[in-house]
Structure formats: structure tokens, C-alpha cells
């Protein structure tokens, strides 16, 4: 154990402190409601985790017949939101269906795809959905472009390309409004697990729409956060990450072969400002595993 870490503290807290982060966590058994939490009702910055309620509203509007998810949308090469994955990394004009844009948004956290879809459904509609589900602490107030633009404006750099290096400076990080949950897209760990549990129980939308969301969350490609805590062939992990300077998040559902299924939300903020945060990434999986193990000891 590292010096200065009290062995009597909450074991989940110990995981976070050992990784050099402040952490927020909530885990719940989807079927019986037993839960484990740490700062579970404090506001947190969603970063790309906001794409989960966005996807839900997309599916619900399609259910109501407002559009067909096979409708194809043009995405010009000159109008891409930064992010380094998906459409932002492509050089040519593209045309994709709404449902394939949703796939890119969830599988590789494509910011351009998210902005196209948010423009289509409307952020007011996403927030009305959240209100209707009783998730009043969860708000979507920015698209990805607005979020990323705030970084380079607050950092005082000329353009987006200089942000990554600038945001390794602690003085720059201290003035980033994107890291303030009062300013940007926000929620609490408990509200995010409630949302996931409703999706997994087919309560957030029609059964087909909820199944479509579960499918896309299972296709996420990143194995280094939540999934790292569950390295088993017979345990399924579906998730959505979120990343900003010093912030590493993931929410998801872990499903065991005995039928146990657990929604978990983990949000972290690192004490350090390095671009790469492997200890924070690993802590998400370790803390989630510890929380779910606590729930499973009562099976």
C-alpha cells in the first residue's frame, strides 16, 4: 500500500487515492436495486457520456415516426468536430445513415456524429426526456464542438490543435470551464446508473429501441477503463467513456453468466495534468469491479 493511504478508508476510495484521482461511483443491481456508492449524488462532468441520453432520445424520436433511422445524411469534410476518431479523422465527404452515425458516436465516441445527431433531435428534447425520466440533475447544454471550443478559448491558444499540450499546464487546467459541472453537460453517478437500468429493463423506451442502445454500447471499442476490471470471456461489458483534460469517465453495464447484471458509473478527476492517464483508466475498472463484487457477495 502506498504511504499515507489510511487502510481504514472505504476500499473504493482507496483505489481512487492510489491512482492519484478523486473518484465518484455508483453501482446498482439492475434487478433488485441493491447499491454501492461513493459521492454518488455529487454533480460530475459527463464529457462524452452525454452521448447515452442523446442516443436514447434519437431512438425515441424514431419510435414516434419523426424520422427513419436509415435516412442518409451528408457530412462534409470541411465541417467536422475535432476528436481524432471516426469522421474527424476522415478526409473526404461522407454520407451515412442516422443509425450508422449513432454507431460511430457510441463505438469510437465520434464527436462529429454526435453533433449531427444532437442537431437533429435538439438538446431541448434530450432535456425534456431526462425530466420525464426523473433525471433532473442530468443536463445536456453543449454539443461537442462547443465543449471543445471552450477548451482552446479558456486555454488562450490560437486554435484546437494547440489545446492538448496547453492543457498539461496546471494553471491552464485551473481555468477550463469545461471541467465545471455547473457549466457544461452534467449528471450524477446515481442518475447515470438509473438511466442505464431503465434501458436494460426496457423502461426508457420501447423494447426494440432499448435493445438497439444495448447493442451499440456493447460495440464500444475501448477496453482500458471499465472492461479492464472484468477480464473474463463469459462476462459482458457494455459502456460509454468520457474524456476531458484530467477527467476520465465511464458508465456501463456488466452482465455475468449467472444472470446478474449491474449498472455502474465511474467518474474521475486526476491530481496530475498529463495527457495520458493510465492509472486513472485502470482505476475505473478496479473500482467498478470492487463495487460489483460487493453487490455479488449477497447473491
Asked if 57 contacts 125 with a C-beta cutoff of 8 angstroms, the reply is: yes
pLDDT in tens, the chain (299 residues): 444 445 556 899 999 999 999 999 999 999 999 999 999 999 999 999 999 999 999 999 999 999 999 999 999 999 999 888 999 999 999 999 999 999 999 999 999 999 999 999 999 999 999 999 999 999 999 999 999 999 999 999 987 778 889 999 999 999 999 999 999 999 999 999 999 999 999 999 999 999 999 999 999 999 999 999 999 999 999 999 999 999 999 999 999 999 999 999 999 999 999 999 999 999 999 999 999 999 999 65
pLDDT in tens, 71-129: 999 999 999 998 889 999 999 999 999 999 999 999 999 999 999 999 999 999 999 99
All structural domains of the chain with their residue ranges: 11-296
The conformational region for residue 26 under phi > 0 = left, psi -120 to 50 = alpha, else beta, is: beta
CATH architecture of 11-296: 3-Layer(aba) Sandwich (3.40)
pTM of the model: 0.95
pLDDT in tens, 185-198: 999 999 999 999 99
Report the DSSP pairing between strands 72-75 and 94-97. antiparallel
Amino acid at each position: 500500500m502506498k504511504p499515507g493511504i489510511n487502510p481504514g478508508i472505504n476500499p473504493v476510495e482507496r483505489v481512487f487515492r492510489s491512482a492519484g484521482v478523486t473518484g465518484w461511483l455508483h453501482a446498482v443491481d439492475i434487478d433488485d436495486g441493491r447499491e454501492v456508492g461513493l459521492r454518488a449524488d455529487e454533480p460530475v462532468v459527463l464529457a462524452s457520456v452525454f452521448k447515452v441520453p442523446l442516443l436514447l432520445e434519437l431512438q425515441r424520436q424514431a419510435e414516434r415516426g419523426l424520422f427513419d433511422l436509415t435516412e442518409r445524411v451528408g457530412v462534409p469534410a470541411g465541417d467536422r468536430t475535432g476528436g481524432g476518431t471516426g469522421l474527424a479523422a476522415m478526409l473526404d465527404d461522407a454520407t451515412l445513415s442516422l443509425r450508422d452515425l449513432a454507431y460511430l458516436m457510441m463505438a469510437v465516441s465520434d464527436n462529429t456524429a454526435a453533433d449531427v445527431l444532437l442537431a437533429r433531435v435538439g438538446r431541448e428534447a434530450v432535456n425534456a426526456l431526462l425530466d420525464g425520466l426523473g433525471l433532473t440533475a442530468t443536463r445536456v447544454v453543449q454539443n461537442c464542438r462547443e465543449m471543445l471550443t471552450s477548451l482552446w478559448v479558456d486555454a488562450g491558444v490560437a486554435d484546437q490543435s494547440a489545446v492538448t499540450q496547453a492543457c498539461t499546464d496546471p494553471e491552464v487546467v485551473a481555468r477550463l470551464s469545461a471541467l465545471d459541472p455547473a457549466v457544461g453537460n452534467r449528471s450524477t453517478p446515481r442518475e447515470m446508473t438509473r438511466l442505464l437500468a431503465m434501458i436494460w429493463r426496457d423502461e426508457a423506451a420501447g423494447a426494440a429501441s432499448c435493445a438497439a442502445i444495448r447493442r451499440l454500447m456493447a460495440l464500444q471499442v475501448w477496453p482500458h477503463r471499465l472492461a479492464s476490471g472484468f477480464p473474463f470471456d463469459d462476462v459482458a461489458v457494455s459502456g460509454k467513456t468520457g474524456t476531458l483534460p484530467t477527467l476520465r469517465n465511464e458508465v456501463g453495464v456488466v452482465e455475468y453468466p449467472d444472470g446478474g447484471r449491474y449498472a455502474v458509473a465511474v467518474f474521475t478527476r486526476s491530481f496530475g495534468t498529463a495527457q495520458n492517464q493510465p492509472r486513472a483508466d485502470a482505476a475505473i475498472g478496479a473500482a467498478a469491479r470492487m463495487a460489483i463484487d460487493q453487490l455479488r457477495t449477497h447473491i
